[in-house]
């Protein structure tokens, strides 16, 4: 395994609410694998990266090193800003999860940070 994994900042939020659903079977399998690995060892280091990451590898919306939609970059920026983090920063998955919980979830910013996300109903159903 790599010294640290590239991870989109907003995926730190998505992983907290993962329920086994995804764009398609390949994406869901990959997300489940990454979720299990990071939840199993939250001390693993991730590099905050506002481009295609390990979850995007199996995404049907992926185009080379990016996404067919501009939304993921917006979500990444909102997470970075809300949590006081920087692109390129290397932190543990646990630190990212705690920052997301402290600066987004506990202060009621989920719907603002994730405005327009098709998966938001899953997250709001679990939040609280």
Average pLDDT over residues 123-127: 73
More confident residue, 73 or 127: 73
Does the pLDDT value for residue 48 go beyond 80?
A: yes
- Predicted confidence at residue 98, as pLDDT, reads 98
Distances (CA, A) of 67 to 7, 53, 89, 120: 14, 10, 21, 19
Cα 116 to Cα 128: distance, rounded to the nearest angstrom:
20
Cα 103 to Cα 40: distance, rounded to the nearest angstrom:
23
Does the pLDDT value for residue 127 go beyond 70?
A: no
- Predicted confidence at residue 126, as pLDDT, reads 58
What is the per-residue burial (b if ≥16 Cβ within 10 Å, else e) of 92-104?
A: bbebbbebbeebb
pTM for this entry: 0.90
Does the pLDDT value for residue 89 go beyond 90?
A: yes
């Amino acid at each position: 395994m790599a010294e640290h994994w590239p991870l989109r900042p907003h995926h730190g939020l998505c992983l907290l609410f993962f329920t086994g659903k995804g764009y398609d079977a390949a994406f869901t399998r990959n997300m489940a694998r990454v979720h299990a690995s990071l939840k199993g060892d939250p001390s693993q280091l991730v590099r905050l990266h506002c481009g295609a990451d390990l979850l995007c590898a199996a995404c049907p919306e992926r185009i080379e090193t990016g996404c067919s939609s501009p939304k993921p970059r917006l979500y990444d920026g909102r997470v970075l800003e809300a949590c006081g983090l920087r692109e390129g920063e290397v932190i543990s998955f646990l630190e990212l999860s705690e920052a997301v919980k402290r600066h987004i979830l506990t202060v009621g910013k989920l719907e603002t940070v994730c405005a327009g996300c098709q998966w938001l109903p899953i997250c709001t159903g679990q939040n609280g």
